[in-house]
Chain A
Protein backbone atom coordinates (compact mmCIF):
# COMPACT_ATOMS: atom_id res chain seq x y z
CA UNK A 1 0.00 0.00 0.00
CA UNK A 2 2.77 2.37 0.96
CA UNK A 3 4.75 1.37 -2.14
CA UNK A 4 1.76 2.11 -4.41
CA UNK A 5 1.28 5.56 -2.95
CA UNK A 6 4.93 6.43 -3.52
CA UNK A 7 4.73 5.32 -7.13
CA UNK A 8 1.72 7.51 -7.89
CA UNK A 9 3.38 10.56 -6.43
CA UNK A 10 6.41 10.22 -8.70
CA UNK A 11 4.42 10.11 -11.92
CA UNK A 12 5.11 13.20 -14.01
CA UNK A 13 2.19 14.92 -15.80
CA UNK A 14 3.98 14.82 -19.15
CA UNK A 15 4.39 11.06 -18.75
CA UNK A 16 0.72 10.44 -18.13
CA UNK A 17 -0.76 12.61 -20.93
CA UNK A 18 0.44 12.19 -24.46
CA UNK A 19 1.16 15.76 -25.54
CA UNK A 20 2.36 15.01 -29.04
CA UNK A 21 -1.07 15.16 -30.79
CA UNK A 22 -1.78 18.47 -29.08
CA UNK A 23 1.54 19.90 -30.20
CA UNK A 24 0.80 18.71 -33.74
CA UNK A 25 -2.51 20.53 -33.74
CA UNK A 26 -1.07 23.68 -32.24
CA UNK A 27 1.70 23.66 -34.87
CA UNK A 28 -0.88 23.23 -37.62
CA UNK A 29 -2.90 26.15 -36.27
CA UNK A 30 0.23 28.26 -35.99
CA UNK A 31 1.23 27.52 -39.59
CA UNK A 32 -2.35 28.29 -40.73
CA UNK A 33 -2.34 31.70 -39.05
CA UNK A 34 1.18 32.43 -40.28
CA UNK A 35 0.29 31.71 -43.89
CA UNK A 36 -3.24 33.07 -44.19
CA UNK A 37 -3.35 36.03 -41.85
CA UNK A 38 -2.41 39.58 -42.68
CA UNK A 39 -0.88 41.63 -39.91
CA UNK A 40 -2.02 45.21 -40.25
CA UNK A 41 -2.96 48.21 -38.19
CA UNK A 42 -6.36 47.94 -36.56
CA UNK A 43 -8.85 50.45 -37.85
CA UNK A 44 -10.63 52.81 -35.53
CA UNK A 45 -13.39 50.61 -34.04
CA UNK A 46 -15.69 53.60 -33.60
CA UNK A 47 -15.99 53.95 -37.38
CA UNK A 48 -18.62 51.68 -38.91
CA UNK A 49 -17.52 50.97 -42.46
CA UNK A 50 -20.34 51.22 -45.07
CA UNK A 51 -21.61 48.02 -46.67
CA UNK A 52 -21.50 47.51 -50.40
CA UNK A 53 -21.63 44.60 -52.79
CA UNK A 54 -19.90 46.54 -55.56
CA UNK A 55 -16.60 47.13 -53.78
CA UNK A 56 -13.45 46.17 -55.61
CA UNK A 57 -10.27 44.84 -54.09
CA UNK A 58 -7.46 47.19 -55.01
CA UNK A 59 -3.78 46.49 -55.23
CA UNK A 60 -1.48 47.85 -52.59
CA UNK A 61 -0.89 51.37 -53.72
CA UNK A 62 2.25 53.28 -53.03
CA UNK A 63 1.92 56.93 -52.05
CA UNK A 64 -1.44 56.34 -50.46
CA UNK A 65 -2.98 57.97 -47.45
CA UNK A 66 -5.95 56.85 -45.42
CA UNK A 67 -8.12 59.51 -43.83
CA UNK A 68 -10.59 58.49 -41.16
CA UNK A 69 -13.86 60.36 -40.94
CA UNK A 70 -16.16 59.62 -38.03
CA UNK A 71 -19.94 60.06 -37.81
CA UNK A 72 -19.59 63.72 -36.85
CA UNK A 73 -17.26 64.49 -39.75
CA UNK A 74 -14.12 64.73 -37.62
CA UNK A 75 -11.10 63.95 -39.80
CA UNK A 76 -8.15 61.95 -38.53
CA UNK A 77 -4.87 60.93 -40.09
CA UNK A 78 -2.88 58.33 -38.12
CA UNK A 79 -5.27 58.89 -35.17
CA UNK A 80 -4.43 62.60 -35.14
CA UNK A 81 -7.32 65.02 -35.59
CA UNK A 82 -6.87 67.35 -38.55
CA UNK A 83 -8.81 70.32 -39.87
CA UNK A 84 -10.52 70.12 -43.25
CA UNK A 85 -8.14 72.74 -44.69
CA UNK A 86 -5.21 70.45 -43.95
CA UNK A 87 -6.46 68.08 -46.67
CA UNK A 88 -5.02 70.57 -49.16
CA UNK A 89 -1.54 69.72 -47.88
CA UNK A 90 -1.93 66.04 -48.85
CA UNK A 91 -1.54 66.79 -52.54
CA UNK A 92 1.65 68.74 -51.93
CA UNK A 93 2.90 65.81 -49.83
CA UNK A 94 2.87 63.77 -53.06
CA UNK A 95 -0.08 61.62 -51.97
CA UNK A 96 -1.52 60.10 -55.14
CA UNK A 97 -4.20 57.81 -53.74
CA UNK A 98 -6.57 58.95 -51.04
CA UNK A 99 -8.63 56.35 -49.21
CA UNK A 100 -11.42 57.52 -46.95
CA UNK A 101 -12.49 55.41 -44.01
CA UNK A 102 -15.90 56.92 -43.52
CA UNK A 103 -18.58 56.03 -41.01
CA UNK A 104 -21.70 54.71 -42.69
CA UNK A 105 -23.88 57.01 -40.60
CA UNK A 106 -22.11 60.20 -41.63
CA UNK A 107 -24.43 62.73 -43.30
CA UNK A 108 -24.06 62.88 -47.09
CA UNK A 109 -23.94 66.67 -46.73
CA UNK A 110 -20.69 66.38 -44.73
CA UNK A 111 -19.35 63.83 -47.24
CA UNK A 112 -20.04 66.24 -50.12
CA UNK A 113 -18.22 69.05 -48.30
CA UNK A 114 -15.18 66.81 -47.85
CA UNK A 115 -15.31 65.82 -51.53
CA UNK A 116 -15.45 69.48 -52.55
CA UNK A 117 -12.38 70.24 -50.40
CA UNK A 118 -10.52 67.30 -51.94
CA UNK A 119 -11.50 68.39 -55.44
CA UNK A 120 -10.18 71.88 -54.75
CA UNK A 121 -7.00 70.29 -53.35
CA UNK A 122 -6.46 68.68 -56.75
CA UNK A 123 -7.66 65.11 -56.20
CA UNK A 124 -9.48 63.70 -59.25
CA UNK A 125 -10.42 60.34 -57.79
CA UNK A 126 -10.83 59.06 -54.27
CA UNK A 127 -11.65 55.70 -52.70
CA UNK A 128 -14.01 54.83 -49.87
CA UNK A 129 -13.44 51.69 -47.83
CA UNK A 130 -16.41 49.34 -47.75
CA UNK A 131 -17.17 45.94 -46.31
CA UNK A 132 -18.87 43.08 -48.09
CA UNK A 133 -22.62 43.32 -47.74
CA UNK A 134 -24.22 40.39 -45.93
CA UNK A 135 -26.73 38.38 -47.95
CA UNK A 136 -29.34 38.90 -45.22
CA UNK A 137 -29.28 42.70 -45.59
Chain B
Protein backbone atom coordinates (compact mmCIF):
# COMPACT_ATOMS: atom_id res chain seq x y z
CA UNK B 1 0.00 0.00 0.00
CA UNK B 2 1.32 3.41 -0.99
CA UNK B 3 1.39 5.87 1.81
CA UNK B 4 1.29 9.51 0.73
CA UNK B 5 1.89 11.99 3.47
CA UNK B 6 -0.32 15.10 3.56
CA UNK B 7 2.69 17.36 3.33
CA UNK B 8 3.45 16.17 -0.19
CA UNK B 9 0.02 17.01 -1.62
CA UNK B 10 0.00 20.37 -3.39
CA UNK B 11 -2.81 21.97 -5.32
CA UNK B 12 -1.69 23.61 -8.52
CA UNK B 13 -3.34 27.03 -8.44
CA UNK B 14 -1.90 28.28 -11.74
CA UNK B 15 -4.93 27.14 -13.86
CA UNK B 16 -7.23 28.83 -11.38
CA UNK B 17 -5.29 32.07 -11.72
CA UNK B 18 -5.42 31.76 -15.51
CA UNK B 19 -9.18 31.44 -15.51
CA UNK B 20 -9.65 34.28 -13.05
CA UNK B 21 -7.40 36.50 -15.15
CA UNK B 22 -9.37 35.62 -18.28
CA UNK B 23 -12.64 36.47 -16.53
CA UNK B 24 -11.15 39.72 -15.26
CA UNK B 25 -9.97 40.74 -18.72
CA UNK B 26 -13.40 39.85 -20.16
CA UNK B 27 -15.28 41.95 -17.64
CA UNK B 28 -12.82 44.85 -17.95
CA UNK B 29 -13.33 44.97 -21.71
CA UNK B 30 -17.03 44.19 -21.87
CA UNK B 31 -18.40 46.39 -19.12
CA UNK B 32 -19.38 49.97 -19.58
CA UNK B 33 -19.47 52.51 -16.77
CA UNK B 34 -20.71 55.53 -18.71
CA UNK B 35 -24.26 56.42 -17.78
CA UNK B 36 -26.56 56.99 -20.70
CA UNK B 37 -28.54 60.17 -20.50
CA UNK B 38 -31.13 61.53 -22.82
CA UNK B 39 -32.79 64.80 -23.63
CA UNK B 40 -36.35 64.70 -24.79
CA UNK B 41 -37.98 66.64 -27.60
CA UNK B 42 -41.69 67.12 -28.11
CA UNK B 43 -42.42 67.09 -31.79
CA UNK B 44 -44.73 70.03 -32.27
CA UNK B 45 -46.74 71.40 -35.13
CA UNK B 46 -45.03 73.38 -37.84
CA UNK B 47 -43.03 76.30 -36.48
CA UNK B 48 -44.39 78.62 -39.17
CA UNK B 49 -47.68 78.82 -37.28
CA UNK B 50 -45.90 80.66 -34.46
CA UNK B 51 -44.90 83.51 -36.76
CA UNK B 52 -42.63 86.44 -36.13
CA UNK B 53 -44.32 88.73 -33.64
CA UNK B 54 -43.54 90.60 -30.45
CA UNK B 55 -44.29 87.59 -28.26
CA UNK B 56 -41.44 85.59 -29.78
CA UNK B 57 -37.78 86.09 -29.02
CA UNK B 58 -35.82 84.92 -32.03
CA UNK B 59 -32.35 83.43 -31.57
CA UNK B 60 -30.43 82.77 -34.76
CA UNK B 61 -27.67 80.21 -35.22
CA UNK B 62 -25.59 81.22 -38.22
CA UNK B 63 -22.35 79.41 -39.02
CA UNK B 64 -22.33 77.99 -35.48
CA UNK B 65 -22.57 81.48 -33.89
CA UNK B 66 -25.53 82.89 -32.00
CA UNK B 67 -27.34 86.12 -32.84
CA UNK B 68 -30.24 88.04 -31.35
CA UNK B 69 -31.42 91.10 -33.30
CA UNK B 70 -28.29 90.90 -35.44
CA UNK B 71 -26.12 91.16 -32.29
CA UNK B 72 -23.55 88.41 -31.99
CA UNK B 73 -23.43 86.51 -28.68
CA UNK B 74 -20.21 85.07 -27.30
CA UNK B 75 -20.23 81.66 -25.66
CA UNK B 76 -18.96 83.23 -22.43
CA UNK B 77 -21.78 85.73 -21.93
CA UNK B 78 -24.55 84.11 -23.95
CA UNK B 79 -26.54 83.03 -20.89
CA UNK B 80 -26.50 86.51 -19.40
CA UNK B 81 -27.47 88.18 -22.69
CA UNK B 82 -30.26 85.73 -23.53
CA UNK B 83 -31.75 86.24 -20.08
CA UNK B 84 -31.51 90.02 -20.36
CA UNK B 85 -33.35 89.91 -23.72
CA UNK B 86 -35.90 87.44 -22.31
CA UNK B 87 -36.63 89.66 -19.32
CA UNK B 88 -36.53 92.96 -21.23
CA UNK B 89 -39.92 92.41 -22.91
CA UNK B 90 -42.93 90.32 -22.26
CA UNK B 91 -41.82 87.46 -24.49
CA UNK B 92 -43.79 84.24 -24.32
CA UNK B 93 -41.82 81.98 -26.65
CA UNK B 94 -38.29 81.52 -27.82
CA UNK B 95 -37.77 80.41 -31.39
CA UNK B 96 -34.35 79.21 -32.45
CA UNK B 97 -33.74 79.53 -36.16
CA UNK B 98 -30.75 77.91 -37.77
CA UNK B 99 -28.98 78.16 -41.09
CA UNK B 100 -27.94 75.15 -43.15
CA UNK B 101 -24.35 75.06 -41.80
CA UNK B 102 -24.88 74.95 -38.02
CA UNK B 103 -24.53 71.70 -36.15
CA UNK B 104 -26.56 69.90 -33.50
CA UNK B 105 -24.11 70.55 -30.67
CA UNK B 106 -24.80 74.30 -30.94
CA UNK B 107 -28.54 73.73 -30.75
CA UNK B 108 -28.14 71.51 -27.68
CA UNK B 109 -25.84 74.11 -26.12
CA UNK B 110 -28.47 76.87 -26.34
CA UNK B 111 -31.28 74.48 -25.31
CA UNK B 112 -29.24 73.57 -22.21
CA UNK B 113 -28.99 77.23 -21.22
CA UNK B 114 -32.73 77.75 -21.68
CA UNK B 115 -33.62 74.58 -19.79
CA UNK B 116 -31.25 75.52 -16.96
CA UNK B 117 -33.11 78.82 -16.60
CA UNK B 118 -36.47 77.06 -16.73
CA UNK B 119 -37.57 78.65 -20.00
CA UNK B 120 -39.98 76.12 -21.42
CA UNK B 121 -41.67 77.58 -24.47
CA UNK B 122 -38.84 76.91 -26.86
CA UNK B 123 -39.16 75.85 -30.48
CA UNK B 124 -36.63 75.46 -33.23
CA UNK B 125 -36.70 75.29 -37.00
CA UNK B 126 -34.73 75.99 -40.14
CA UNK B 127 -34.81 79.60 -41.17
CA UNK B 128 -35.87 79.60 -44.83
CA UNK B 129 -34.09 82.94 -45.33
CA UNK B 130 -30.69 81.63 -44.17
Contacts and interface: CB of A to CB of B under 8 A. Distances in A.
Contacts of B17: 19, 22-23, 26
23 contacts: A14-B14, A19-B17, A23-B16, A26-B21, A33-B24, A39-B32, A42-B32, A50-B104, A52-B111, A55-B39, A56-B37, A57-B35, A57-B38, A58-B36, A104-B103, A104-B104, A106-B104, A107-B101, A107-B102, A112-B126, A123-B43, A124-B42, A127-B38
Contacts of A107: 100-104
Contacts of A111: 104, 107
Nearest to B40: A127
Contacts of A33: 24, 27-28, 31
Interface size range of chain A in the complex: 35 or more
Given A23-B20, A54-B111, A108-B107, A118 B126 contact: no
A74 interface: no
A133 B52 CA distance: 33
A52 B108 contact: yes
Contacts of B111: 52, 54
B105 A104 contact: yes
Interface residues of B, dominant DSSP: mixed
Interface size range of chain B in the complex: 35 or more
Contacts of A11: none
Interface of B: 12-14, 16-17, 20-21, 23-24, 27-28, 30-43, 61, 98-108, 111-112, 115-116, 124-126
Interface string A77-100: 000000000000000000000010
B38 A54 contact: no
